[in-house]
Amino acid sequence: MNHPGAPDPETLSLLKAEFGPDLLTSTGELAARGRDDSGLFLPPAAVLLARDETQISRLLVLANERRFAVIPRGAGTGLAGACLAETGGVVLDMSAMNRIITVDEKSVTATVEPGVLNIELRRAAAAKGLFYPPDPASLDTSTLGGNAATNAGGPACVKYGTTRDYVLGLSCVLPTGEALRVGTATRKGVVGYDLTRLIVGSEGTLGVITSLTLKLLPLPEGQACVAAVFADVGAAMRAISAVMTRGHLPSAIEFLDARCLRLVGDLLPAHVRAGLPGAPGEHGEALVLIECDGGQGETRRAIADIESLCRECGALGILPAPDEAARQAVWDVRRSVSTRIHESCVVYIPEDIAVPVGRIADMVAALPPVEARHGIDIYAFGHAGDGNIHLNLTAPSEARRPAVEAAAEECVRLALGFGGTMSGEHGVGLAKRRMLPLEIAPVSLRLQRGIKKLFDPNDILNPGKIFPEEAC
Ligand SMILES: Cc1cc2nc3c(=O)[nH]c(=O)nc-3n(C[C@H](O)[C@H](O)[C@H](O)COP(=O)(O)OP(=O)(O)OC[C@H]3O[C@@H](n4cnc5c(N)ncnc54)[C@H](O)[C@@H]3O)c2cc1C
Protein backbone atom coordinates (compact mmCIF):
# COMPACT_ATOMS: atom_id res chain seq x y z
CA MET A 1 0.00 0.00 0.00
CA ASN A 2 1.26 3.52 -0.80
CA HIS A 3 1.02 5.72 2.25
CA PRO A 4 0.95 9.51 1.95
CA GLY A 5 4.49 10.92 2.12
CA ALA A 6 6.23 14.30 1.91
CA PRO A 7 4.38 17.45 0.76
CA ASP A 8 5.23 18.41 -2.84
CA PRO A 9 7.29 21.63 -3.35
CA GLU A 10 4.18 23.75 -3.99
CA THR A 11 2.53 22.44 -0.80
CA LEU A 12 5.73 23.06 1.16
CA SER A 13 5.69 26.70 0.02
CA LEU A 14 2.04 26.93 1.05
CA LEU A 15 2.89 25.50 4.50
CA LYS A 16 5.72 28.06 4.89
CA ALA A 17 3.34 30.88 4.07
CA GLU A 18 0.66 29.49 6.39
CA PHE A 19 2.80 28.73 9.46
CA GLY A 20 5.71 31.16 9.09
CA PRO A 21 8.57 30.65 11.58
CA ASP A 22 6.81 27.69 13.26
CA LEU A 23 7.54 25.62 10.16
CA LEU A 24 11.12 24.37 10.36
CA THR A 25 13.00 23.09 7.32
CA SER A 26 16.71 23.45 8.10
CA THR A 27 18.78 20.27 7.77
CA GLY A 28 19.65 20.39 11.46
CA GLU A 29 16.02 20.71 12.61
CA LEU A 30 14.94 17.87 10.29
CA ALA A 31 17.80 15.60 11.37
CA ALA A 32 16.96 16.21 15.04
CA ARG A 33 13.37 15.00 14.42
CA GLY A 34 14.59 12.11 12.24
CA ARG A 35 15.63 10.07 15.25
CA ASP A 36 14.12 8.50 18.33
CA ASP A 37 15.70 5.96 20.67
CA SER A 38 15.00 3.02 18.34
CA GLY A 39 18.25 3.69 16.44
CA LEU A 40 16.34 4.38 13.18
CA PHE A 41 16.99 7.56 11.20
CA LEU A 42 14.15 8.83 8.96
CA PRO A 43 14.18 12.64 8.64
CA PRO A 44 10.93 14.43 7.70
CA ALA A 45 10.41 17.02 4.92
CA ALA A 46 9.39 19.67 7.48
CA VAL A 47 8.60 20.15 11.17
CA LEU A 48 5.70 22.16 12.55
CA LEU A 49 6.29 23.39 16.07
CA ALA A 50 2.72 23.09 17.36
CA ARG A 51 1.35 26.05 19.34
CA ASP A 52 -2.40 25.39 19.57
CA GLU A 53 -5.33 23.30 18.36
CA THR A 54 -6.29 25.70 15.57
CA GLN A 55 -2.88 25.40 13.97
CA ILE A 56 -2.86 21.59 14.29
CA SER A 57 -6.35 21.41 12.79
CA ARG A 58 -5.29 23.58 9.84
CA LEU A 59 -2.27 21.35 9.16
CA LEU A 60 -4.42 18.22 9.19
CA VAL A 61 -7.04 19.76 6.86
CA LEU A 62 -4.25 20.66 4.41
CA ALA A 63 -2.78 17.15 4.75
CA ASN A 64 -6.13 15.68 3.67
CA GLU A 65 -6.53 18.13 0.80
CA ARG A 66 -2.98 17.66 -0.47
CA ARG A 67 -2.30 14.12 0.76
CA PHE A 68 0.85 14.35 2.83
CA ALA A 69 1.74 12.58 6.06
CA VAL A 70 1.67 14.20 9.53
CA ILE A 71 3.57 12.50 12.34
CA PRO A 72 3.02 13.58 15.97
CA ARG A 73 6.13 13.72 18.13
CA GLY A 74 6.73 14.34 21.83
CA ALA A 75 10.33 14.12 23.04
CA GLY A 76 11.42 11.35 20.66
CA THR A 77 12.41 8.91 23.43
CA GLY A 78 10.29 6.14 21.89
CA LEU A 79 11.99 2.81 21.26
CA ALA A 80 9.88 1.64 18.32
CA GLY A 81 10.33 4.37 15.66
CA ALA A 82 6.67 5.40 16.12
CA CYS A 83 7.34 9.16 15.85
CA LEU A 84 9.47 8.92 12.70
CA ALA A 85 8.52 10.06 9.20
CA GLU A 86 9.03 6.82 7.31
CA THR A 87 7.56 8.25 4.10
CA GLY A 88 8.76 11.82 4.62
CA GLY A 89 5.93 14.13 5.68
CA VAL A 90 5.58 16.79 8.33
CA VAL A 91 6.56 16.02 11.91
CA LEU A 92 4.18 17.75 14.33
CA ASP A 93 6.43 18.56 17.28
CA MET A 94 4.27 18.88 20.41
CA SER A 95 7.06 19.78 22.83
CA ALA A 96 6.23 23.52 22.93
CA MET A 97 2.67 22.87 24.15
CA ASN A 98 4.02 22.32 27.63
CA ARG A 99 1.85 24.10 30.20
CA ILE A 100 0.57 22.47 33.36
CA ILE A 101 -2.90 24.01 33.24
CA THR A 102 -4.03 22.98 36.74
CA VAL A 103 -3.17 20.70 39.59
CA ASP A 104 -6.56 20.60 41.25
CA GLU A 105 -6.25 19.65 44.93
CA LYS A 106 -10.02 19.55 45.42
CA SER A 107 -10.67 17.05 42.62
CA VAL A 108 -7.22 15.42 42.94
CA THR A 109 -6.64 15.71 39.20
CA ALA A 110 -4.32 17.59 36.86
CA THR A 111 -4.90 19.06 33.42
CA VAL A 112 -1.85 19.38 31.22
CA GLU A 113 -0.77 20.09 27.69
CA PRO A 114 0.91 17.13 25.96
CA GLY A 115 4.46 18.55 25.87
CA VAL A 116 4.81 18.60 29.69
CA LEU A 117 7.55 16.21 30.82
CA ASN A 118 6.44 13.43 33.15
CA ILE A 119 8.89 14.62 35.85
CA GLU A 120 7.46 18.15 35.76
CA LEU A 121 3.96 16.91 36.59
CA ARG A 122 5.34 14.63 39.31
CA ARG A 123 7.08 17.65 40.87
CA ALA A 124 4.07 19.94 40.57
CA ALA A 125 1.80 17.28 42.08
CA ALA A 126 4.26 16.52 44.91
CA ALA A 127 4.38 20.22 45.81
CA LYS A 128 0.67 19.90 46.65
CA GLY A 129 1.00 16.54 48.46
CA LEU A 130 -0.21 14.63 45.42
CA PHE A 131 1.26 11.87 43.28
CA TYR A 132 1.28 10.98 39.57
CA PRO A 133 2.33 7.30 39.59
CA PRO A 134 3.21 6.26 35.98
CA ASP A 135 7.01 6.10 36.01
CA PRO A 136 8.66 5.11 32.73
CA ALA A 137 12.44 5.03 33.17
CA SER A 138 12.46 7.96 30.70
CA LEU A 139 10.35 10.12 33.06
CA ASP A 140 12.98 12.89 33.10
CA THR A 141 12.86 13.26 29.33
CA SER A 142 9.57 11.92 27.90
CA THR A 143 6.36 13.94 27.49
CA LEU A 144 2.96 13.15 28.95
CA GLY A 145 1.50 13.23 25.40
CA GLY A 146 4.04 10.61 24.33
CA ASN A 147 3.37 8.63 27.53
CA ALA A 148 -0.37 8.66 26.76
CA ALA A 149 0.13 7.78 23.08
CA THR A 150 2.29 4.78 24.08
CA ASN A 151 0.45 3.94 27.32
CA ALA A 152 3.80 4.11 29.09
CA GLY A 153 4.42 2.17 32.28
CA GLY A 154 7.34 1.53 34.60
CA PRO A 155 8.34 -0.24 37.81
CA ALA A 156 5.33 1.17 39.70
CA CYS A 157 2.95 -0.56 37.30
CA VAL A 158 2.74 -3.62 39.56
CA LYS A 159 0.89 -1.53 42.17
CA TYR A 160 -0.41 1.49 40.29
CA GLY A 161 -1.00 0.43 36.66
CA THR A 162 -0.02 2.23 33.46
CA THR A 163 -0.69 5.68 32.00
CA ARG A 164 -4.07 4.51 30.67
CA ASP A 165 -5.28 4.05 34.26
CA TYR A 166 -4.68 7.77 34.95
CA VAL A 167 -6.15 9.40 31.83
CA LEU A 168 -9.69 10.41 32.77
CA GLY A 169 -10.27 12.43 29.63
CA LEU A 170 -8.43 14.09 26.79
CA SER A 171 -8.75 16.59 23.99
CA CYS A 172 -7.40 15.79 20.58
CA VAL A 173 -7.54 16.88 16.97
CA LEU A 174 -8.76 14.08 14.72
CA PRO A 175 -6.97 13.35 11.42
CA THR A 176 -9.89 15.09 9.69
CA GLY A 177 -9.02 18.31 11.54
CA GLU A 178 -12.05 18.16 13.89
CA ALA A 179 -11.47 18.86 17.58
CA LEU A 180 -12.73 16.14 19.93
CA ARG A 181 -13.07 15.93 23.71
CA VAL A 182 -13.49 12.42 25.14
CA GLY A 183 -13.77 10.99 28.65
CA THR A 184 -14.64 12.91 31.79
CA ALA A 185 -13.10 14.91 34.57
CA THR A 186 -14.56 12.40 37.03
CA ARG A 187 -13.10 9.17 38.39
CA LYS A 188 -16.02 7.20 36.96
CA GLY A 189 -17.96 7.40 33.71
CA VAL A 190 -19.62 4.71 31.61
CA VAL A 191 -21.40 6.66 28.90
CA GLY A 192 -20.81 5.34 25.40
CA TYR A 193 -17.79 3.52 24.02
CA ASP A 194 -14.55 4.30 25.85
CA LEU A 195 -12.74 6.33 23.19
CA THR A 196 -10.31 7.68 25.78
CA ARG A 197 -8.85 4.24 26.39
CA LEU A 198 -8.79 3.62 22.63
CA ILE A 199 -6.82 6.78 21.84
CA VAL A 200 -4.41 6.16 24.73
CA GLY A 201 -1.86 3.67 23.39
CA SER A 202 -2.78 4.27 19.72
CA GLU A 203 0.75 5.57 18.97
CA GLY A 204 -0.38 8.82 17.40
CA THR A 205 -2.39 7.09 14.67
CA LEU A 206 -5.93 8.15 15.67
CA GLY A 207 -5.60 11.73 16.88
CA VAL A 208 -3.19 14.42 18.05
CA ILE A 209 -3.54 14.76 21.83
CA THR A 210 -3.73 18.44 22.83
CA SER A 211 -4.62 18.13 26.53
CA LEU A 212 -4.96 15.45 29.18
CA THR A 213 -7.02 15.30 32.37
CA LEU A 214 -5.13 13.00 34.69
CA LYS A 215 -6.06 11.27 37.93
CA LEU A 216 -3.71 11.90 40.86
CA LEU A 217 -3.29 10.07 44.18
CA PRO A 218 -2.14 11.14 47.63
CA LEU A 219 1.67 11.29 47.80
CA PRO A 220 3.02 8.29 49.75
CA GLU A 221 4.92 9.33 52.87
CA GLY A 222 7.99 7.32 51.93
CA GLN A 223 9.54 4.31 50.23
CA ALA A 224 11.75 1.49 51.38
CA CYS A 225 13.34 -1.33 49.45
CA VAL A 226 15.40 -4.47 49.68
CA ALA A 227 17.29 -6.53 47.10
CA ALA A 228 18.03 -10.25 47.30
CA VAL A 229 20.24 -12.57 45.25
CA PHE A 230 19.02 -16.11 44.53
CA ALA A 231 20.70 -19.27 43.25
CA ASP A 232 18.28 -19.55 40.34
CA VAL A 233 15.37 -17.76 38.70
CA GLY A 234 12.89 -20.33 40.02
CA ALA A 235 13.82 -19.48 43.63
CA ALA A 236 13.57 -15.76 42.86
CA MET A 237 10.10 -16.23 41.40
CA ARG A 238 8.99 -18.33 44.40
CA ALA A 239 10.04 -15.44 46.64
CA ILE A 240 8.01 -13.00 44.53
CA SER A 241 5.00 -15.28 44.69
CA ALA A 242 5.39 -15.59 48.49
CA VAL A 243 5.49 -11.78 48.80
CA MET A 244 2.40 -11.30 46.64
CA THR A 245 0.35 -13.99 48.39
CA ARG A 246 1.17 -12.95 51.94
CA GLY A 247 -0.53 -9.61 52.00
CA HIS A 248 2.04 -7.32 50.38
CA LEU A 249 1.52 -5.07 47.37
CA PRO A 250 4.99 -3.70 46.55
CA SER A 251 5.31 -0.56 44.45
CA ALA A 252 8.10 -2.21 42.40
CA ILE A 253 9.35 -5.75 41.87
CA GLU A 254 12.35 -5.69 39.56
CA PHE A 255 14.50 -8.55 38.35
CA LEU A 256 17.98 -9.11 36.83
CA ASP A 257 19.12 -12.43 35.36
CA ALA A 258 22.57 -14.00 35.74
CA ARG A 259 24.06 -12.24 32.72
CA CYS A 260 22.95 -8.83 34.02
CA LEU A 261 24.16 -9.72 37.49
CA ARG A 262 27.60 -10.49 36.06
CA LEU A 263 27.59 -7.13 34.34
CA VAL A 264 26.72 -5.07 37.45
CA GLY A 265 27.84 -7.45 40.22
CA ASP A 266 30.78 -5.17 41.09
CA LEU A 267 28.25 -2.54 42.18
CA LEU A 268 26.88 -4.80 44.94
CA PRO A 269 28.35 -3.86 48.32
CA ALA A 270 31.29 -5.98 49.43
CA HIS A 271 29.36 -7.51 52.36
CA VAL A 272 26.69 -8.85 49.98
CA ARG A 273 29.28 -10.19 47.56
CA ALA A 274 31.10 -11.81 50.48
CA GLY A 275 27.89 -13.56 51.55
CA LEU A 276 27.46 -15.21 48.17
CA PRO A 277 28.98 -18.66 47.63
CA GLY A 278 30.80 -17.39 44.51
CA ALA A 279 31.13 -14.34 42.33
CA PRO A 280 27.74 -12.81 41.52
CA GLY A 281 26.46 -14.41 38.38
CA GLU A 282 28.38 -17.62 39.00
CA HIS A 283 26.34 -18.83 41.92
CA GLY A 284 23.88 -16.01 42.28
CA GLU A 285 21.72 -16.34 39.16
CA ALA A 286 19.01 -13.77 39.81
CA LEU A 287 18.57 -10.52 41.70
CA VAL A 288 15.18 -9.28 42.85
CA LEU A 289 14.58 -5.72 44.02
CA ILE A 290 11.38 -5.11 45.95
CA GLU A 291 10.13 -1.68 46.99
CA CYS A 292 7.13 -0.70 49.11
CA ASP A 293 5.65 2.75 49.62
CA GLY A 294 3.20 4.28 52.09
CA GLY A 295 3.46 5.38 55.72
CA GLN A 296 7.02 5.21 57.11
CA GLY A 297 6.31 2.60 59.81
CA GLU A 298 4.14 0.52 57.52
CA THR A 299 6.76 0.36 54.74
CA ARG A 300 9.55 -0.49 57.17
CA ARG A 301 7.48 -3.37 58.59
CA ALA A 302 6.57 -4.60 55.10
CA ILE A 303 10.21 -4.59 53.97
CA ALA A 304 11.35 -6.45 57.11
CA ASP A 305 8.71 -9.09 56.43
CA ILE A 306 9.68 -9.30 52.75
CA GLU A 307 13.33 -9.74 53.74
CA SER A 308 12.34 -12.72 55.91
CA LEU A 309 10.27 -14.19 53.07
CA CYS A 310 13.27 -13.89 50.73
CA ARG A 311 15.46 -15.71 53.25
CA GLU A 312 12.78 -18.42 53.65
CA CYS A 313 12.82 -18.83 49.86
CA GLY A 314 16.58 -19.39 49.88
CA ALA A 315 18.08 -15.93 49.22
CA LEU A 316 21.89 -16.26 49.06
CA GLY A 317 22.50 -12.64 49.91
CA ILE A 318 20.39 -9.72 51.06
CA LEU A 319 21.08 -6.11 50.24
CA PRO A 320 19.06 -4.04 52.71
CA ALA A 321 18.48 -0.34 52.19
CA PRO A 322 17.94 1.16 55.65
CA ASP A 323 18.16 4.78 54.48
CA GLU A 324 17.59 6.89 51.36
CA ALA A 325 21.26 6.77 50.26
CA ALA A 326 21.26 2.98 50.46
CA ARG A 327 17.94 2.86 48.60
CA GLN A 328 19.39 4.93 45.79
CA ALA A 329 22.45 2.62 45.73
CA VAL A 330 20.18 -0.41 45.29
CA TRP A 331 18.33 1.32 42.42
CA ASP A 332 21.66 2.31 40.87
CA VAL A 333 22.48 -1.39 40.54
CA ARG A 334 19.20 -1.91 38.65
CA ARG A 335 19.47 1.28 36.55
CA SER A 336 23.06 0.71 35.47
CA VAL A 337 22.13 -2.48 33.60
CA SER A 338 20.98 -0.82 30.34
CA THR A 339 24.05 1.42 30.12
CA ARG A 340 26.43 -1.42 30.75
CA ILE A 341 24.73 -3.62 28.14
CA HIS A 342 25.03 -0.78 25.60
CA GLU A 343 28.72 -0.39 26.44
CA SER A 344 29.40 -4.10 26.05
CA CYS A 345 28.16 -4.75 22.50
CA VAL A 346 27.91 -3.46 18.92
CA VAL A 347 24.50 -4.84 17.88
CA TYR A 348 21.68 -4.32 20.34
CA ILE A 349 17.97 -5.06 19.88
CA PRO A 350 15.67 -4.36 22.84
CA GLU A 351 12.53 -6.50 23.06
CA ASP A 352 10.05 -5.85 25.86
CA ILE A 353 7.94 -8.96 25.98
CA ALA A 354 5.57 -9.58 28.88
CA VAL A 355 4.47 -12.99 30.12
CA PRO A 356 2.15 -14.01 32.97
CA VAL A 357 4.19 -13.65 36.17
CA GLY A 358 3.94 -17.39 36.78
CA ARG A 359 5.75 -18.06 33.48
CA ILE A 360 8.77 -15.73 33.95
CA ALA A 361 11.03 -18.58 35.09
CA ASP A 362 9.97 -20.66 32.04
CA MET A 363 10.66 -17.74 29.72
CA VAL A 364 14.12 -17.12 31.19
CA ALA A 365 14.92 -20.85 31.12
CA ALA A 366 14.06 -20.92 27.41
CA LEU A 367 16.65 -18.26 26.52
CA PRO A 368 19.99 -20.20 26.60
CA PRO A 369 18.94 -22.51 23.73
CA VAL A 370 18.01 -19.42 21.67
CA GLU A 371 21.42 -17.90 22.46
CA ALA A 372 23.19 -21.09 21.47
CA ARG A 373 21.18 -21.55 18.26
CA HIS A 374 21.94 -18.03 17.03
CA GLY A 375 25.36 -17.44 18.62
CA ILE A 376 24.27 -14.27 20.46
CA ASP A 377 23.86 -13.03 24.06
CA ILE A 378 20.52 -12.23 25.69
CA TYR A 379 20.26 -10.12 28.86
CA ALA A 380 16.94 -10.41 30.72
CA PHE A 381 15.84 -7.85 33.29
CA GLY A 382 12.85 -5.70 34.09
CA HIS A 383 9.55 -5.54 35.84
CA ALA A 384 9.02 -8.99 37.35
CA GLY A 385 5.91 -7.80 39.21
CA ASP A 386 3.98 -7.49 35.96
CA GLY A 387 5.88 -10.06 33.88
CA ASN A 388 7.41 -7.38 31.63
CA ILE A 389 10.90 -8.63 30.89
CA HIS A 390 13.25 -6.53 28.80
CA LEU A 391 15.21 -8.90 26.63
CA ASN A 392 18.30 -7.16 25.29
CA LEU A 393 19.66 -9.22 22.42
CA THR A 394 23.27 -8.38 21.62
CA ALA A 395 26.21 -9.35 19.45
CA PRO A 396 29.78 -8.06 19.23
CA SER A 397 29.74 -7.28 15.47
CA GLU A 398 27.41 -5.97 12.75
CA ALA A 399 27.83 -9.22 10.87
CA ARG A 400 25.74 -10.90 13.57
CA ARG A 401 22.75 -8.54 13.15
CA PRO A 402 20.63 -11.02 11.11
CA ALA A 403 21.18 -13.61 13.84
CA VAL A 404 20.08 -11.12 16.52
CA GLU A 405 16.95 -10.28 14.51
CA ALA A 406 16.08 -13.95 14.03
CA ALA A 407 16.58 -14.56 17.75
CA ALA A 408 14.33 -11.57 18.57
CA GLU A 409 11.48 -13.08 16.59
CA GLU A 410 12.05 -16.43 18.28
CA CYS A 411 11.83 -14.75 21.70
CA VAL A 412 8.56 -13.08 20.71
CA ARG A 413 7.17 -16.44 19.61
CA LEU A 414 8.25 -17.99 22.92
CA ALA A 415 6.58 -15.20 24.92
CA LEU A 416 3.36 -15.64 22.94
CA GLY A 417 3.56 -19.39 23.58
CA PHE A 418 3.67 -18.67 27.32
CA GLY A 419 0.46 -16.62 27.02
CA GLY A 420 2.31 -13.29 26.84
CA THR A 421 2.60 -10.32 24.52
CA MET A 422 5.36 -8.99 22.24
CA SER A 423 5.37 -5.57 23.92
CA GLY A 424 4.57 -4.71 27.52
CA GLU A 425 5.27 -0.99 27.14
CA HIS A 426 7.39 0.14 24.17
CA GLY A 427 4.67 -0.30 21.53
CA VAL A 428 4.74 -1.53 17.94
CA GLY A 429 5.65 1.52 15.82
CA LEU A 430 7.84 0.52 12.90
CA ALA A 431 10.12 -1.80 14.84
CA LYS A 432 7.62 -4.56 15.58
CA ARG A 433 4.88 -4.14 12.98
CA ARG A 434 6.02 -7.10 10.85
CA MET A 435 5.41 -9.35 13.87
CA LEU A 436 1.93 -8.02 14.65
CA PRO A 437 0.10 -10.94 12.98
CA LEU A 438 1.94 -13.32 15.33
CA GLU A 439 -0.10 -11.85 18.18
CA ILE A 440 -3.22 -10.23 16.73
CA ALA A 441 -5.80 -12.56 15.18
CA PRO A 442 -7.06 -11.76 11.65
CA VAL A 443 -10.53 -10.75 12.88
CA SER A 444 -9.05 -8.36 15.45
CA LEU A 445 -6.65 -6.98 12.83
CA ARG A 446 -9.57 -6.36 10.46
CA LEU A 447 -11.47 -4.49 13.20
CA GLN A 448 -8.41 -2.44 14.12
CA ARG A 449 -7.74 -1.48 10.51
CA GLY A 450 -11.42 -0.52 10.26
CA ILE A 451 -11.06 1.77 13.29
CA LYS A 452 -8.02 3.44 11.72
CA LYS A 453 -9.95 3.94 8.46
CA LEU A 454 -12.92 5.45 10.32
CA PHE A 455 -10.72 7.95 12.16
CA ASP A 456 -8.35 8.63 9.26
CA PRO A 457 -9.98 7.89 5.88
CA ASN A 458 -6.99 9.23 3.90
CA ASP A 459 -4.33 7.61 6.12
CA ILE A 460 -2.55 10.93 6.67
CA LEU A 461 -1.87 10.65 10.43
CA ASN A 462 1.25 8.66 11.31
CA PRO A 463 0.81 6.31 8.33
CA GLY A 464 2.45 2.89 8.28
CA LYS A 465 2.73 2.55 12.04
CA ILE A 466 1.52 -0.52 13.98
CA PHE A 467 0.06 -2.46 11.02
CA PRO A 468 2.24 -4.66 8.79
CA GLU A 469 2.58 -3.51 5.18
CA GLU A 470 1.85 -6.75 3.35
CA ALA A 471 -1.63 -7.14 4.82
CA CYS A 472 -2.78 -3.59 3.96
C1 LIG B 1 16.17 5.38 28.51
C2 LIG B 1 14.75 5.06 28.15
C3 LIG B 1 13.95 4.41 29.07
C4 LIG B 1 12.63 4.12 28.75
N5 LIG B 1 11.85 3.51 29.69
C6 LIG B 1 10.57 3.26 29.43
C7 LIG B 1 9.75 2.64 30.42
O8 LIG B 1 10.19 2.32 31.53
N9 LIG B 1 8.46 2.44 30.12
C10 LIG B 1 7.93 2.80 28.91
O11 LIG B 1 6.72 2.62 28.71
N12 LIG B 1 8.68 3.37 27.95
C13 LIG B 1 9.98 3.60 28.18
N14 LIG B 1 10.76 4.19 27.22
C15 LIG B 1 10.18 4.52 25.92
C16 LIG B 1 9.64 5.98 25.78
O17 LIG B 1 10.28 6.84 26.68
C18 LIG B 1 8.13 6.00 25.98
O19 LIG B 1 7.50 5.31 24.93
C20 LIG B 1 7.56 7.43 26.06
O21 LIG B 1 6.20 7.35 26.44
C22 LIG B 1 7.67 8.21 24.74
O23 LIG B 1 7.38 9.57 25.02
P24 LIG B 1 7.93 10.72 24.04
O25 LIG B 1 7.42 12.01 24.53
O26 LIG B 1 9.39 10.61 23.90
O27 LIG B 1 7.18 10.32 22.69
P28 LIG B 1 7.79 10.13 21.23
O29 LIG B 1 8.88 9.12 21.26
O30 LIG B 1 8.06 11.44 20.64
O31 LIG B 1 6.52 9.49 20.50
C32 LIG B 1 6.05 8.22 20.87
C33 LIG B 1 4.69 7.98 20.20
O34 LIG B 1 3.74 8.90 20.73
C35 LIG B 1 3.14 9.65 19.67
N36 LIG B 1 2.87 10.97 20.22
C37 LIG B 1 3.71 11.78 20.89
N38 LIG B 1 3.07 12.89 21.29
C39 LIG B 1 1.79 12.78 20.85
C40 LIG B 1 0.63 13.61 20.93
N41 LIG B 1 0.63 14.77 21.58
N42 LIG B 1 -0.51 13.17 20.35
C43 LIG B 1 -0.55 11.98 19.70
N44 LIG B 1 0.51 11.17 19.60
C45 LIG B 1 1.67 11.56 20.17
C46 LIG B 1 4.13 9.59 18.53
O47 LIG B 1 3.51 9.76 17.28
C48 LIG B 1 4.68 8.19 18.70
O49 LIG B 1 3.78 7.28 18.13
C50 LIG B 1 12.10 4.48 27.49
C51 LIG B 1 12.91 5.12 26.56
C52 LIG B 1 14.22 5.40 26.88
C53 LIG B 1 15.07 6.09 25.88
pLDDT category of residue 282 using cuts at 50, 70 and 90: low
What per-residue confidence (pLDDT) applies to 151? 98
What per-residue confidence (pLDDT) applies to 279? 53
Segment 127-149 mean pLDDT: 97
352 pocket-lining for ligand 1 (C-beta < 6 Å): no
Distance of CA 262 to the CA centre of its chain: 25
Does residue 280 have a pLDDT over 70? Answer: no
**Atom 16 of ligand 1, nearest CA residue:** 78
What per-residue confidence (pLDDT) applies to 456? 98
pTM: predicted TM-score of the whole model, two decimal places? 0.95
What per-residue confidence (pLDDT) applies to 428? 96
157 pocket-lining for ligand 1 (C-beta < 6 Å): no
Q: Three-class SS of residue 330?
A: helix
Segment 72-92 mean pLDDT: 97
What per-residue confidence (pLDDT) applies to 270? 72
**Atom 2 of ligand 1, nearest CA residue:** 138
Sequential DSSP letters for 87-114: TB-EEEE-TT---EEEEETTTTEEEE-T
Does residue 200 have a pLDDT over 70? Answer: yes
What per-residue confidence (pLDDT) applies to 471? 43
Segment 441-449 mean pLDDT: 96
> 215-227 burial, b if ≥16 CB within 10 A, otherwise e?
bbeebbebbbbbb
380, containing H or E segment = strand 377-383
Residue type, position 57, single letter: S
Segment 456-468 mean pLDDT: 97
What per-residue confidence (pLDDT) applies to 278? 54
**Considering only CA atoms, which of 172, 213, 362, 333 is closest in space to residue 267?**
333
pLDDT in tens, 327-382: 888 888 888 898 899 888 899 898 999 999 999 999 999 999 999 999 999 999 99
426 pocket-lining for ligand 1 (C-beta < 6 Å): yes
Ligand 1 mean position to 57 CA, how many Å?
22
Pocket test for ligand 1, best of 91, 142, 352, 460 (most atoms within 8 A of CB): 142
**Considering only CA atoms, which of 337, 333, 322, 316 is closest in space to residue 268?**
333
Q: Three-class SS of residue 200?
A: coil
Look over the chain and give the mean of its residue pLDDT values, rounded to a whole number: 93
Ligand 1 mean position to 46 CA, how many Å?
21
Does residue 276 have a pLDDT over 70? Answer: no
pLDDT in tens, 117-136: 999 999 999 999 999 999 99
Segment 211-231 mean pLDDT: 95
What is the third-level CATH fold of 345-427? Alpha-Beta Plaits (3.30.70)
What per-residue confidence (pLDDT) applies to 317? 86
CA distance 375 to 392: 14
Does residue 277 have a pLDDT over 90? Answer: no
What per-residue confidence (pLDDT) applies to 411? 97
423 pocket-lining for ligand 1 (C-beta < 6 Å): no
Does residue 412 have a pLDDT over 50? Answer: yes
- Tell me which long-range contacts 196-201 makes (C-beta under 8 A, separation of at least 24): 196/167, 196/168, 196/169, 196/170, 197/164, 197/167, 198/451, 199/148, 199/170, 199/172, 200/148, 200/149, 200/151, 200/163, 200/164, 200/167, 200/170, 201/148, 201/149, 201/150, 201/151, 201/164, 201/427
Does residue 390 have a pLDDT over 80? Answer: yes
Q: Determine the length of the chain.
A: 472
Pocket test for ligand 1, best of 150, 203, 339 (most atoms within 8 A of CB): 150
152 pocket-lining for ligand 1 (C-beta < 6 Å): yes
Q: Which of 50-59, 79-88, 267-276 has the lowest mean pLDDT?
A: 267-276
pLDDT category of residue 472 using cuts at 50, 70 and 90: very low
Distance of CA 323 to the CA centre of its chain: 29
Ligand 1 mean position to 109 CA, how many Å?
22
- What are the residues whose beta carbons fall under 8 Å from the beta carbon of 15, sequence distance 6 or more? 7, 23, 46, 48, 59, 62, 90
What is the third-level CATH fold of 100-218? 3.30.465
What per-residue confidence (pLDDT) applies to 285? 84
Q: Identify the bridge partners of residue 286 per DSSP, sorted by sequence position.
A: 230, 257
**Atom 21 of ligand 1, nearest CA residue:** 147
The residue ranges of every structural domain in the chain are 100-218, 221-343, 345-427
Domains 221-343 and 345-427 share a fold: yes
- Tell me which long-range contacts 259-266 makes (C-beta under 8 A, separation of at least 24): 259/377, 259/378, 259/379, 259/380, 260/287, 260/337, 260/341, 260/379, 260/380, 260/381, 261/229, 261/285, 261/286, 261/287, 263/337, 263/340, 263/341, 263/344, 263/379, 264/333, 264/336, 264/337, 264/340
What per-residue confidence (pLDDT) applies to 469? 81
- What are the residues whose beta carbons fall under 8 Å from the beta carbon of 223, sequence distance 6 or more? 251, 291, 292, 293, 299, 327
What per-residue confidence (pLDDT) applies to 403? 96
CATH 3.30.70.2190 is right for the domain spanning 221-343: yes
pLDDT in tens, 153-190: 999 999 999 999 999 999 999 999 999 999 999 999 99
Does residue 283 have a pLDDT over 60? Answer: no
What per-residue confidence (pLDDT) applies to 177? 98
CA distance 190 to 236: 41
